[in-house]
């Protein structure tokens, strides 16, 4: 099937403990271990800052709602803020359509630099934005525009960096390598959680609402400069350099990718539950535990940190285990079932819970989430050949994030407002688990067009 796509996939990779490629047989000469590790670590560091920029909006939704959507009803304010949060996800597929083909034509490194610059700039400008009390309706309008720029940037980031890391990974270690992208995402989210929730605890609601909410956004300026500097030191992935040397790049990656709708659907399915669960565990849980369950900031912050720490530890372990499975999809189906069961326990225990009684369901959900986290990105890269990998990843991943990821907090909040049942979001998250498991069951060995580089 690879020949049908006009691609020759050949590689001779020696496995290393870190899952980072140390040799390459693409006519480009060997990739030195130090070079591979430097590229790997540099890309991961930039990804951490990218996720910090993108996620702090969710952690500060309560304050953003009060400053930009002051309706007089706190619940409506939060729902409005989360609607803008979700809007960025609906623009992400457009970012994927723009930057995915760009990465398949001009390279992964240049695209990673471009999207990071856009993200950091938009985030910092949010911190400088006057509120509705100062400039009226223009405040939410400009906020929405900046959030859309963030969405375009995020639409080009994940597919490109996953492709970059997958193409540096050793043969048979793609799960181990790409799982660290997922772990880096959680590190970025935790960094945002520490800054936003830590400031909320230190300053209190009044000061945070008045001015403190700006600080986490303004930090994107210096963090962005550091991340851009790191990414400027990266070297292009060896697989793409080889493809370029052979004149094997696609002249129209988007058009060519759209000829393979099954691959796009399978990528979509592989990451659907990942999208909904990451925003449940790491973002929406902050609002849910405080505004719905009634926890104070202290326990809520502790819950988020605990979940993130568990996920960071388990994601690489999960990636390693997935590499050992004959068929990665079987491991993903198993972990999807575990996440679904843990979600049921958590949501039905939450309404009458205290921080101590909800701890066991939360730990179970965090463990299941961490075990899931390590393999969807590897599955995504294995479904696509080198010449179309960034484009296919960007489209499939971002459509899933738009439909089931970024919309999760908005839909969950709306379900509670509509049903008056604090457990009602569970049905939405179970549906996303069903979509993922059902799609994964359709994957056949012949669909893995990029499994062996």
Residue range 352-368: mean pLDDT, rounded: 96
CB atoms within 10 A of CB 326: 7
User: By the 8 A CB rule, do 396 and 450 touch?
Assistant: no
User: By the 8 A CB rule, do 31 and 247 touch?
Assistant: no
Cα Rg of the chain (Å, integer)? 21
User: By the 8 A CB rule, do 412 and 288 touch?
Assistant: yes
Mean pLDDT, all residues of the chain? 86
Top-confidence range, 31-45, 179-193, 299-313, 335-349: 335-349
DSSP string spanning 39-108?
A: HHHHHHHHHHHHHHHHHHHHHTHHHHHHHH---S-HHHHHHHHHHHHHHHHHHHHHHHHHHHHHHHHH-H
Q: 268 or 197: whose pLDDT is higher?
A: 268
Buried residues in 387-416 as b, exposed as e (16+ CB within 10 A): bbbbbbbbbbbbbbbbbbbbbbbbbbbbbb
pLDDT for 2 beyond 50? no
Residue 13 has φ and ψ, to the nearest 5°, of -110, 130
Residue range 152-160: mean pLDDT, rounded: 92
Domains detected in the chain:
30-447 (1.20.1250.20)
Residues 6+ away with beta carbon under 8 Å from 334: none
Per-residue model confidence (pLDDT) at position 122: 94
Residue range 119-126: mean pLDDT, rounded: 94
Per-residue model confidence (pLDDT) at position 35: 62
Please state, in angstroms and rounded to a whole number, the distance separating the CA atoms of residues 14 and 171: 6
* Model confidence band, residue 33 (pLDDT cutoffs 50, 70, 90): low
Long-range CB contacts (within 8 A, 24+) of 130-133? 131/67, 131/68, 132/67, 132/68, 132/69, 132/70, 133/67, 133/70
pLDDT for 15 beyond 50? no
Round to the nearest angstrom and report the end-to-end CA distance of the chain.
14
């Amino acid at each position: 099937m690879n020949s049908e796509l006009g691609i020759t996939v050949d590689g001779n990779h020696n496995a290393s403990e870190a899952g980072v490629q140390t040799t390459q047989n693409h006519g480009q000469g060997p990739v030195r271990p130090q070079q591979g590790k430097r590229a790997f670590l540099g890309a991961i560091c930039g990804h951490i800052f990218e996720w910090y920029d993108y996620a702090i909006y969710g952690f500060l939704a309560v304050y953003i709602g009060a400053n930009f959507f002051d309706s007089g009803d706190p619940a409506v304010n939060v729902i409005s803020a989360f609607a803008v949060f979700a809007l960025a996800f609906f623009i992400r597929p457009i970012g994927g359509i723009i930057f995915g083909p760009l990465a398949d034509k001009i390279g992964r490194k240049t695209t990673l630099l471009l999207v990071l610059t856009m993200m950091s700039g938009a985030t910092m400008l949010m911190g400088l934005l006057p509120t509705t009390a100062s400039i009226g309706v223009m405040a939410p309008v400009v906020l929405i525009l900046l959030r859309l720029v963030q969405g375009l940037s995020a639409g080009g980031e994940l597919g490109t960096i996953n492709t970059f890391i997958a193409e540096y990974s050793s043969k048979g270690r793609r799960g181990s390598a790409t799982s660290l992208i997922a772990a880096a995402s959680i590190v970025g989210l935790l960094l945002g959680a520490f800054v936003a929730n830590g400031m909320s605890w230190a300053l209190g609601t009044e000061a945070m609402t008045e001015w403190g909410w700006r600080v986490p956004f303004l930090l994107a300026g210096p963090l962005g400069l550091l991340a851009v500097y790191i990414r400027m030191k990266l070297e292009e992935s060896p697989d793409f350099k080889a493809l370029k040397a052979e004149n094997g790049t696609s002249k129209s990656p988007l058009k060519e990718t759209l000829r393979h709708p099954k691959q796009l659907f399978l990528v979509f399915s592989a990451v659907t539950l990942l999208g909904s669960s990451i925003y449940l565990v790491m973002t929406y849980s902050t609002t849910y535990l405080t505004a719905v369950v009634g926890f104070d900031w202290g326990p809520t912050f502790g819950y988020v940190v605990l979940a993130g720490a568990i996920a960071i530890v388990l994601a690489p372990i999960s990636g390693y285990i997935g590499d050992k499975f004959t068929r990665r999809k079987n491991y993903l189906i198993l972990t999807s079932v575990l996440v679904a069961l843990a979600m049921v326990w958590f949501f039905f225990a939450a309404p009458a819970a205290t921080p101590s009684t909800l701890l066991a369901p939360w730990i179970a959900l965090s463990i299941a989430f961490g075990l899931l986290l390590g393999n969807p990105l590897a599955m995504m890269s294995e479904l696509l050949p080198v010449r179309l990998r960034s484009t296919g990843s960007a489209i499939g991943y971002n459509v899933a994030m738009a439909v089931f990821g970024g919309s999760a907090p908005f839909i969950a909040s709306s379900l509670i407002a509509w049903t008056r049942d604090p457990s009602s979001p569970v049905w939405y998250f179970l549906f996303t688990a069903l979509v993922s498991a059902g799609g994964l069951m359709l994957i056949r060995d012949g669909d893995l067009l990029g499994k062996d580089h």
